[in-house]
Amino acid sequence: TQADIGLIGLGVMGANLALNIADNGYKVAVFNRTAEKTTAFMENAAHLKDQFIACYSLEELAAAIKAPRPIIMMVKAGEAVDQQIEALKPFLEENDILIDAGNSDYHDSNRRYRALADTPFTFVGMGVSGGAEGARHGPSIMVGASDAAYARIQPILDAISAKHNGEPCSALMGPEGAGHFVKTLHNGIEYADMQMIAEVHEVLTKCLGLSIAEQAAVFKKWNEGPLASYLIEITANVMDVIDEESGKPILDVILDTAGQKGTGRWSAVEAHALGVPATGIDAAVASRCISANRVLRQEIAEIYPNNETPLTWDDKQAGIDACERALIAGKIAAYAEGFAVLAAGGAENGWNLPMGTIARIWRQGCIIRSRFLDEIASAYDEKPDLQSLYLAPTIAERMKDAAPGLRKTLAKAIGSGIPMPGLAAAMGSFDMMRQKRTAAYVIQGQRDFFGQHGFERTDKPGTDFHGPWPAGGA
Ligand code: NDP
């Protein structure tokens, strides 16, 4: 019999996704550019062999799938996707759906969606999160599709996605690149979360003198509270691992240069283009860049050695609790920004993104899954047009409790010379958001002084006032 769906690209993600689809009772026709990978995949999947049809050409692939065909492409993002679409076209028929499940730039998905709208085929841009493990056992899926195309693929996507209390962590975000836009911001928020965790680790080490093994225990405890999340859990797991060669904790031997593939940077760029702050994501992207500049850092470190005496807490537990609150407050700030970027991007593209649903489908399967997302989902359930997460009563209560901990942690860390770009950005952003009057009047004064840009006054209406500047000014 013919397959229910096709899948192109049997790399790490594609192979796992194919197995997941087969586990859920669907027959999958598989194809990979390099034929050996297809053969190897079929050997690995021998126990499920009736669920797969191995194809060695795109023509074979098209013939192996029931029409109208859904075909998932899980190939390298970028040009490979365009090449793949072009190569497939001669073998497609009316109403076939081409699903790009890689980490594509959402602008590319907008373009591909529109280009294919003029053909008999349909394009779907689909963000998949959860790494290899998620792909295998249930990822979080963010779909950008027409309603009609989504209705056709929804049963398979719901089946293969992660579940939160039985609810699929897969949903339609909107048409065009909406799915990839949401996936991009997911990754941006992931960057911010990871950076803030790394910073707190340094405070636990330098200000509280905790060994990595002791920190693993702290993270495990935190994973039972409001911070409960996959990233906190795996940080504890990473901390527990001992390097076989050196006998030291693996973290002691991992080089301190962080890699990045671009989705974090895309989030920051989008935020800037939309004029919405994403200071936590900006700081996380910048921090990875600084970390990668290792050779220069060695030289600068020689001139400015980090010899500040670490500021400690008299009561160790109080210090650990402050660090926990620092992470909670930092998370709230980063998510408040991230969700604001989502809302603005949705409005800019005319998508009306389902904010509550985004929080809901991130509760399982994806890398930023956490208990906190449940609170965000509830906040949007209560008020679907919520302007800012800071305004939600439950989140406000949490922030009021956590912000002093963030402030104390930053004071100790900065006094100790520990770099805190992520958490300091969170504090700065929150502190500015809660000002009735910011210091921006100084900037307006400067702008008018040097450029006659004009300002508004606090004491009367009107937009084009100027200062009585002395000579040299406007
Ligand atoms: P891999 O490197 O494991 O696999 C890449 C796949 O793309 C291979 O099947 C490769 O085929 C194929 N490919 C590359 N270039 C072309 C081309 N020009 N034409 C046709 N096929 C091509 O990558 P992953 O599985 O990790 O990633 C796949 C996609 O999923 C990427 O967009 C990635 O960003 C995204 N993603 C990855 C996640 C992860 O945790 N790894 C998480 C979420 C999304 P060949 O064997 O012939 O080289």
Report how far ligand 1's centroid is from the alpha carbon of 9 (Å).
6
Q: For residue 13, which atom of ligand 1 is closest to its CA?
A: 25
Best residue for ligand 1 mutational test, from 19, 30, 31, 33 (most atoms within 8 Å of Cβ):
33
Report how far ligand 1's centroid is from the alpha carbon of 15 (Å).
10
- By CB atoms closer than 10 A (0-12, 13-18, 19+), residue 198 is middle
Domains detected in the chain: 5-176 (3.40.50.720), 184-433 (1.10.1040.10), 437-474 (1.20.5)
Q: What is the DSSP string of 186-206?
A: HHHHHHHHHHHHHHHHHHHHH
Q: How far apart are CA 438 and CA 332, in angstroms?
A: 21
Question: What is the SS3 assignment for 262?
Answer: coil
**pLDDT of residue 471 exceeding 90:** no
Closest CA to 99 of 122, 78, 79: 122
Per-residue pLDDT, 347 = 97
Q: What is the DSSP string of 102-114?
A: S---HHHHHHHHH
213, 241 in Cβ contact below 8 A? no
Q: What are phi and psi of 283, to 5 degrees?
A: -65, -35
Q: For residue 75, which atom of ligand 1 is closest to its CA?
A: 7
Q: For residue 102, which atom of ligand 1 is closest to its CA?
A: 32
> Percent of the chain scored above 90 by pLDDT?
97
* 3-state SS record for 202-256: HHHHHCCCCCHHHHHHHHHHHCCCCCCEHHHHHHHHHHHCECCCCCCEHHHHCCC
CA–CA distance from 96 to each of 71, 127, 148, 248, 284 (Å)?
A: 8, 19, 12, 54, 40
Report how far ligand 1's centroid is from the alpha carbon of 87 (Å).
17
**pLDDT of residue 292 exceeding 80:** yes
Q: Mark residue 326 as left, alpha or beta (left: phi above 0; alpha: psi -120 to 50; beta: remaining).
A: alpha
Mean pLDDT of the chain: 97
Summarize pLDDT for 181-207 with one digit per residue, the tens: 999 999 999 999 999 999 999 999 999
Report how far ligand 1's centroid is from the alpha carbon of 11 (Å).
5
Q: Mark residue 72 as left, alpha or beta (left: phi above 0; alpha: psi -120 to 50; beta: remaining).
A: beta
Best residue for ligand 1 mutational test, from 13, 129, 191 (most atoms within 8 Å of Cβ):
13
Compute how many other C-beta atoms are within 10 angstroms of the C-beta atom of residue 166. 5
Residue 67: alpha-carbon gap to chain centroid: 35
Active site residues: 183, 190
Summarize pLDDT for 244-286 with one digit per residue, the tens: 999 999 999 999 999 998 899 999 999 999 999 999 999 999 9
- Write out residues with Cβ below 6 Å of ligand 1: 9-14, 32-34, 37, 74-77, 80, 83-84, 102-103, 128-129, 131-132
**pLDDT of residue 105 exceeding 60:** yes
Report how far ligand 1's centroid is from the alpha carbon of 77 (Å).
7
285, 190 in Cβ contact below 8 A? no
Summarize pLDDT for 73-95 with one digit per residue, the tens: 999 999 999 999 999 999 999 99
